[in-house]
A and B are shown apart, each in its own frame.
Chain A
Amino acid sequence: MKRFAQLLEVLALTSSRTRKLAALTQYFRDTPDPDRGYGLAVLTGALNFANVKPALLKETVLAEVDATLFAMSYDYVGDLGETIALIWPHHGGTGELPSLTELIDLFNTTSKRDLPKLIGGLLTRAEINERWALVKLATGGLRVGVSARLAKTALAEMSGVELQAIEEVWHGLKVPYGALFDWLDGKTGRPDIDQSARFHPLMLSNPIDEERDLARLVPEDFAAEWKWDGIRVQLVMGAGTVSLFSRTGDDIANAFPDIVDNAQGRAVLDGELLVGQDFDPGSFNDLQQRLNKKVASARHLRESPAFIRVYDLLFDGDVDVRALPWSERRARLEAWFAANPQTRLDLSEVLPFADWDDLARQRRQGADEHGHEGVMIKLRQAPYVPGRPKGYWYKWKRDPNVVDAVLMYAQRGHGRRSSFYSDYTFGVWKGNEIVPIGKAYFGFTDEELKLLDKWIRTHTIGSFGPVREVKKELVFEVAFDSAQESARHKSGVALRFPRISRIRWDKPAAEAATLADMAVFVAAT
């Protein structure tokens, strides 16, 4: 437990991804089985104790601590788990804590009646950082800034096995991942799991280079589709179970019962998750609302029904078709749809086009009239290859929209940038005042960042904690993909993917955009 507690502390306190990764890699390297497997399960949220709940811990503490003093303390600390760890009044006792494996076993096998005594005893024996880790372990919800993907990346670093290969087997594995670690250590072969019932890493596209690529590529060799503004998902319809994975292999089926409960047939499908009535995609914002919920509410299911716009087929029934060319997979996909009528899945249409100029025209029109993000171009002969292979799939995004906005607030960044003001809020004119329309991180060279940092420090007119308000004098050229109405912003407008493309040292703030100028972009969505 000591090692795991130390790991959690490092993860909680460093904001650097590199350092988190190094700490995880070292933990997996140094920790024996099955402890490291349980550690992995805790980090990836794969463990859940039926009887150990926050309420039980609170009850255990309130048997020892005055309720009013506990309430005052909780009010101050703000985190229940941390309050419990800090306030526990008894210390000492005999020897080290049990190992992570033994602890998990104790949590799972101790009766509800005896749990308070067990937990109290453990808290008394633990050192302060162990106590914190113990409470985090018992209550779940680590909040140490580690995604399942980061944990898997550490496994890849530790073993030299590719991340993709780990993701391929991931969803067929069981805690404490003995088969996985044996494979990663080179003791056995790759774990054998049902190929048609698990996540398969996705094939990704490369951005097109208009000048170089279009001159070289033959239009007849390619098929085109709209680029949809949702999230990429994989629907795995195995024998008896349906799973829905995000592009990084996180299982998001619980948030989308409308899809998994209504899917018919067997296949592994690749497509875009969207929300909207009658297959008419709504805004990304609507989708975001549903993604934010681990479990969908009745209102969400009614008002923002989800569907998948399918564009590829990886397994037809339980036959792996990934080696077939796109054109054959597409034909099979259309046949599969004909044989398996769906209510929550539809086909992404293939766009006919004469040549690249014609497609460029359609792409512009789609962006202006329907707010499409752009088009995808896929080589008809391409097999389905996980990762980002060159020459097969291209994304051709719409030209970004651009607006000149005024810097309003700046905030210090994290890690290497913690001494720089590198996080900016900007706005546009609304009458005589400037109202915020978005926020973006720094995207310039170090030299520009220094200049900007200096400008902010010499033009500060107020500070609120880590945030500085500056004179409304500096203009940023802000590029963004689209604009949407937003009740959360004072301006009523929210930008999607804003990034600062240039600092306009030359431009007076009076010439920046107005809210009326923004209306054009909102209307196009």
Chain B
Amino acid sequence: MLLDRNLHIRAIDTFIDPSVPRERAIITHGHADHARSGHGAVLATPDTIAIMQTRYGVDCAGRFQALDFGVPLLIDDVSITLYPAGHILGSAQVLVEHKGQRVVVTGDYKRLADRTAQPYELVRCDLLVTEATFGLPVFQHPLPQTEIARLLKSVRDNPERSHLVGCYALGKAQRVIALLRDAGWDAPIYLHGAMLKLCGLYEELGVTLGDLRPALDVPRADFAGQIVIAPPSAIRDRWSRRFPDPMVCQASGWMSVKQRARQALVELPLVISDHCDWGELQQTVHETEAATVWVTHGREDALVYWCRQQGLEAQPLHLQRFEDDGGEEAA
């Protein structure tokens, strides 16, 4: 096999998104459960490299090699091409070709339009290695615009409260800010300290986010009617005490399950996901025309079961992963 079940390309001794330091790694995107520091050499998109260096330091790998989308790189007789995955800025799918065999590792991906990430491109292949974070038929994501409209309605209906939106710091935060701007919210958006650097980087890389301010040294009363973006862990902890009567919101695909929102003490759940929902996973499996599907990350069993029903060869990978900070809250 060209690729083994640890996402190791044997012919060129290179791993995709390895969870421990390796000599050679291809990194699909900058989230911590895919991008670790300490690899010898990293091949990734320029944006992903910039994100890794911002998060972990410029020396977080022995050396970096940037590869633009759609440009094949030949190593020995193996060809590597990165295609946009639509998950976050710089996120890529990896196409590995060898002697006419085509393997695609999706990384994390979504197919809905998102101006903070390069739009997903379909890549036909023989073996598809797909994520399945939301791989159950109960996950049917609504349009993010309708969720943002609910947030803005709540802000209008509760002018005396501040809205704290729990968002993962890389990707989700910038997408929510962009969605708010596109919905006409021109007011300053306040940020938790953990968001500042990455929002700055997105701006540098050409994603405009409008007037962003640190949620520091602002009189308590001035937060009424305002929107504040913070990591999920901060919105229910001591940090949140500076806001007047905060409305706890959270932007995540998990928020469609009310029981989960309740457990997390979320008052306004926003179902905004950077992953495919069940329908998009099915659509992708069909459209890639892959005969073999490996499923990783998430609810693998349901998607494997469904693929086999379609007459495809399908396996769960059960990869060991380190949870990204915030765990499921990030999705």
Contact partner, A77, options B138, B241, B302, Cβ 8 Å: B138
Contact partner, B259, options A68, A78, A418, Cβ 8 Å: A78
Contact partner, A419, options B139, B240, B269, B302, Cβ 8 Å: B240
Interface size on B, residues (CB 8 A): 29
Q: Is A173 positioned at the interface, with any CB of B under 8 Å from its CB?
A: no
Q: How far is the CB of B69 from chain A (nearest CB, A)?
A: 34
Q: How far is the CB of B254 from chain A (nearest CB, A)?
A: 11
With A and B bound together, what is the CA distance between A128 and B277 in angstroms?
Answer: 15
Q: Tell me if B259 and A82 are in contact (CB < 8 A).
A: yes
Q: Is A73 positioned at the interface, with any CB of B under 8 Å from its CB?
A: yes
> Which A residues are in CB contact (< 8 Å) with B258?
9, 12-13, 82, 132
Q: Is B155 positioned at the interface, with any CB of A under 8 Å from its CB?
A: no
Secondary structure type dominating chain B contacts: mixed
Q: Tell me if A72 and B301 are in contact (CB < 8 A).
A: yes
With A and B bound together, what is the CA distance between A440 and B91 in angstroms?
Answer: 49
State which of B24-32, B190-198, B260-268, B288-296 sits at the interface with chain A.
Answer: B260-268
Task: List residues 117-153 of chain B with CB under 8 A from any CB of chain A.
Answer: 136-140, 142
What string of 1s and 0s marks CB contacts (under 8 Å) between B245-266 and chain A?
0001000000011110110011
> Which A residues are in CB contact (< 8 Å) with B248?
418
Q: Tell me if B262 and A73 are in contact (CB < 8 A).
A: no
With A and B bound together, what is the CA distance between A296 and B302 in angstroms?
Answer: 41
Whether A73 touches B267, Cβ cut-off 8 Å, given contacts A86-B257, A132-B258, is no
Q: Is A15 positioned at the interface, with any CB of B under 8 Å from its CB?
A: yes
> Which A residues are in CB contact (< 8 Å) with B269?
13
Name the CB-closest residue of B to A8.
B258
> Which A residues are in CB contact (< 8 Å) with B240?
419
Q: Is A79 positioned at the interface, with any CB of B under 8 Å from its CB?
A: yes
Q: Tell me if B267 and A83 are in contact (CB < 8 A).
A: no
Name the CB-closest residue of B to A412.
B236
Q: Is B322 positioned at the interface, with any CB of A under 8 Å from its CB?
A: no
Q: Tell me if B259 and A72 are in contact (CB < 8 A).
A: no
Task: Point out which of B139, B240, B265, B266 has the most chain A C-beta atoms below 10 A from its C-beta.
Answer: B265
Name the CB-closest residue of B to A145.
B262
Q: Tell me if B257 and A14 are in contact (CB < 8 A).
A: no
Q: Tell me if B140 and A79 are in contact (CB < 8 A).
A: no
What string of 1s and 0s marks CB contacts (under 8 Å) between A81-124 and chain B?
01100110100000000000000000000000000000000000
> Which A residues are in CB contact (< 8 Å) with B142?
128
Q: How far is the CB of B232 from chain A (nearest CB, A)?
A: 13
Q: Tell me if A13 and B302 are in contact (CB < 8 A).
A: no
Q: How far is the CB of B220 from chain A (nearest CB, A)?
A: 15
What string of 1s and 0s marks CB contacts (under 8 Å) between A60-80 and chain B?
000001101110110011110
- A13-B261, A73-B137, A414-B265 given; name 14 further pairs at CB < 8 Å: A13-B267, A13-B268, A14-B267, A66-B306, A69-B136, A72-B299, A73-B138, A76-B138, A79-B259, A82-B259, A86-B139, A412-B236, A418-B236, A419-B236
**Contacts A/B (CB < 8 Å), 6 sampled:** A13-B258, A13-B262, A77-B259, A86-B138, A86-B139, A419-B238
